[in-house]
Amino acid sequence: MPKGGTIDFDTTHPTSPFLNESHHEWRRNLRRWLEKEIAPYVDEWDEKGEIPLELYKKASDFGLLRMGYPEEYGGIREGLDKFHSVVTSEETGRIGAGGVFASLMVHGIGLPPIIAIGTDEMKQRIAPPVLAGDKHISLAITEPSGGSDVAQLLTRARRDGDDYVINGSKMFITGGMRADYFTTAVRTGGPGMGGISLMLIEADRKGVARTNLKKQGWWASDTAALYFDDVRVPKENLIGGENQGFIGIMLNFNGERLGMAASANAAARVCIEEAVKWAQQRQTFGKRLADHQVIRHKIAEMVRHVNATQAYLEICTWRVQNGETPAADLALLKVQATQTMEFCAREAMQIMGGASYMRGNKVERIYREVRVNAIGGGSEEIMRDLAARQMGL
């Protein structure tokens, strides 16, 4: 951070040796699009509880939905790397409305298993309309009986001739009310992770029902409970091999955790920017709030947390880009980033006082979204335990 410079979202991003002009150009273009198409409407969409359907088409036409996916399915992959994805997560995080992007970008967790291990027919059938913004896909793993302990899931798919018959339920499914397809974890074999498969379930099949759930945060993103009552799907809907779904799930989680970490740290930087702006204009006891030592120390501590998290994020991203699967570090990175987000959201609220408690400002919205980041994609407790096991403890 330059001496005497402005403290804002950009200056709290340390200079990165991993970013080149391609990344900077994507950031500039994406920021302009977000400022035009999304930023002016986030309060309206938050209160309404959904984003407009036409936004998916706009995001596809711009290229946002298609980033990182193979060209043969309508994606954009040439010349892109993992740091383009991090930039995307940072810039969407800068808007300070996680629910909007949880809904808009939900295909980012529902579609990758199909691209990674689905059949060619399935990829050709599902990916193009999803990437075009015409269809929507959600990931359905968490159940009423448990979430992070995927190996214990209960939803069962029983083979019956050329079909599977599915019974069970899923809970807290992001984008579940709008989804046309569910990438669903089911049990096709015995207990534990070795009996889990991934199954594509079309939302309009007989026996599929869903209920909308109200949440503490992410208001602009619909969240559903799903119910499967003797839902019959053809065997061709199996994603990957039978009883081999756990690998696909875990690979998907690693990518999700990297993106969530980038978004969480970006949200923390938003909190710093908003707190600094308030502290520089607010007068207390005859001087600016920013001139009180306790406030200056709070801001410095927020920046310290963000800088440490950013360094960890970029090293993990570089390792993934170079072919590693650092599961332990990705788990710990998510913990680091969500705790940084929580710390900065709390301190920004303290600095801004009552103003931060009013609806319609970024810090209030981010504070409501802390818990979903700390729990979703693997809770902090599960992440620590996963990391310990990966390290051989």
**Around Cβ 151, how many Cβ atoms within 10 Å?**
15
**Around Cβ 389, how many Cβ atoms within 10 Å?**
12
How far apart CA 184 and CA 138 sit, in angstroms, is 8
Nearest C-alpha neighbor of 344 from the set 9, 50, 24 = 9
How far apart CA 228 and CA 216 sit, in angstroms, is 26
Residues with a known catalytic role: 256
For residue 284, the SS3 value is strand
How far apart CA 315 and CA 170 sit, in angstroms, is 35
- 300-304, Cβ contacts within 8 angstroms, sequence gap of 24 or more: 301/347, 302/268, 302/271, 302/272, 302/275, 302/343, 302/344, 302/347, 302/348, 303/1, 303/7, 303/12, 303/272
How far apart CA 11 and CA 269 sit, in angstroms, is 9
CA angle 137, 23, 323 (to 5 degrees): 65
Instruction: Give, for 347, the enclosing helix (H) or strand (E).
Output: helix 327-352
Question: Which residues, 6+ apart, have CB-to-CB distance to 37 below 8 Å?
Answer: 55, 58, 59, 62
Strands (E), the chain: 137-140, 156-160, 163-174, 181-187, 196-202, 208-212, 223-234, 238-239, 283-284, 287-288
How does DSSP assign 152-202, residue by residue? G---EEEEETTEEEEEEEEEEEETTTT-SEEEEEEE-SSSSGGGEEEEEEE
228 with 383: CB under 8 angstroms? no
**Around Cβ 239, how many Cβ atoms within 10 Å?**
22
99 with 219: CB under 8 angstroms? yes
